[in-house]
Amino acid sequence: MQAENVEIEVTGQLSETEYSAAVARFTKEFGEPKQQRRLALNVTDFDRRDIETRIRITNGHAELMQKIGDWKGDSRNELQADLIEDAQAILKVYSVIRNLLVSDNLQTTVIQFENKIWKTKDFELKLTRQFGKSSVWNFEVELLNHSANIATICKDLRLQPEKEPDAEYWVEFNKKVNLQIDELGEEKLVRLIESYLENNGN
């Protein structure tokens, strides 16, 4: 298991037009981005806003990831552990996580991303199309140099971070944008996991 990391980041939403313009602008400024394809099996207990657990597969690599800290803060701790890259084994890990949670305010979602990523010495910039039932576009700026100021970086990038929405917003957002694990069924979920394990990205 990897060591605990402190993650300082901000996010915001874009329209499809803003997203396309931002891709062109940042490619001109920083060069060609790294392409990333990601699937996440997300288990959210809305009664516990200090913890978020998900399995994610990024360009074919599977891992268990947990974020710890207030959703509405810009600094959270992150724990990661590599998983066996086998769809049935991943599904069993998901089932263990799901069985440990007994909250009545629980949501389990499949989150799919296509990311374009640029890195500098001070920050990582990610532009994302998130899709499932529908598509949305957003950005994420993560601080790599903790002596830098993330607000100043966003201002220089001409990106406007947004306050973290409340739980009610995310419940409705997930219903609109993301696939629901309980609605997919095991066979479809396994096929979806396999399709992301087969994709190694760039």
- Domain at 98, CATH number: 2.40.320.10
Average pLDDT, the chain: 89
For the segment 102-155, what is each residue's pLDDT rounded down to a tens digit? 777 888 999 999 999 999 999 999 999 999 999 999 999 999 998 999 999 999
DSSP assignment letter at 164: P
When divided into structural domains, the chain yields a total of: 1
Give the pLDDT score at 2: 43
What does the alpha-carbon distance between residue 115 and residue 39 come to, in Å, rounded to a whole number? Answer: 11
**pTM value > 0.75:** yes
Q: Stretch 167-196: mean pLDDT, rounded?
A: 90
What does the alpha-carbon distance between residue 180 and residue 164 come to, in Å, rounded to a whole number? Answer: 22
Q: With respect to residue 182, please indicate whether it lies within any of the assigned structural domains.
A: yes
3-state secondary structure at position 77: strand
What does the alpha-carbon distance between residue 55 and residue 33 come to, in Å, rounded to a whole number? Answer: 24
With a cut of 60, say whether residue 188 has pLDDT above it: yes
Q: With respect to residue 108, please indicate whether it lies within any of the assigned structural domains.
A: yes
Quick one: which of 126, 86, 105 has its CA closest to 43? 105
β-partners of residue 129 are 114, 137
Give the pLDDT score at 80: 93
Q: With respect to residue 129, please indicate whether it lies within any of the assigned structural domains.
A: yes
51 touches 67 (CB < 8 A): yes
Q: With respect to residue 48, please indicate whether it lies within any of the assigned structural domains.
A: yes
Q: With respect to residue 202, please indicate whether it lies within any of the assigned structural domains.
A: no
For the segment 18-61, what is each residue's pLDDT rounded down to a tens digit? 999 999 999 999 999 999 999 999 988 878 778 888 999 999 99
94 touches 65 (CB < 8 A): no
Give the pLDDT score at 102: 78
Please report which confidence band the pLDDT of residue 3 belongs to, taking 50, 70 and 90 as the band edges.
very low
Q: With respect to residue 184, please indicate whether it lies within any of the assigned structural domains.
A: yes
3-state secondary structure at position 129: strand
Q: With respect to residue 97, please indicate whether it lies within any of the assigned structural domains.
A: yes
Planar angle of CA 20, 21, 27, nearest 5 degrees: 90
What does the alpha-carbon distance between residue 71 and residue 49 come to, in Å, rounded to a whole number? Answer: 6
180 sits in which H/E element: strand 179-180
Q: Residue 57 belongs to what domain range?
A: 5-197
Q: With respect to residue 109, please indicate whether it lies within any of the assigned structural domains.
A: yes
